[in-house]
Amino acid sequence: MTDMNYTSVDLNGTNYGKTQLLEADTEWKEWHAAFGVSKDFENITPYAGIRYSDVEASGKVTITGTDYDLGSTNADKTFGLFVGTRIAPTKNINIDVQGRFLDETALMVSASLLF
């Protein structure tokens, strides 16, 4: 869970700054869990798995004594798949390529230098 501090809020096309804005609160909750399997083939390690990811967010503000509920939202899809491979061309370098599907569409490429 996280809390964010606001210095201004846009509401219905009007910007309210600190002088009119008495309070602004948001709440963000996020949960993750994953199960994966991998197999080492010398310097290449392919992996795949399933993951659960849920997000809930809500917000409210008080402007010049009036409370406004900004509403809430949550994740459309909570279960997804990931597949990827880690390549170690040398013992000091790892390169990782991963794709995530169903609950999101993402491609991640990273490199690590071990020392």
pLDDT, one tens digit per residue, over 84-112 is 999 999 989 999 999 999 988 999 999 99
Q: Structural domain boundaries of the chain?
A: 9-113
Residue with tokens 């279960």: 79
Give the per-residue pLDDT at 40: 94
The pTM of this model reads 0.66
pLDDT tens for each residue of 51-78: 998 888 888 878 777 888 877 888 888 8
In this predicted structure, what is the pLDDT of residue 33? 95
**CA angle, corner 63, sides to 74 and 6, nearest 5?**
60
105 vs 41, 51, 80, 101, 115, CA distance in Å?
A: 27, 13, 9, 5, 33
Give the residues across from 11 on adjacent strands: 14
* Measured distance CA(47)–CA(33) in Å, rounded: 16
Share the mean pLDDT of the chain.
86
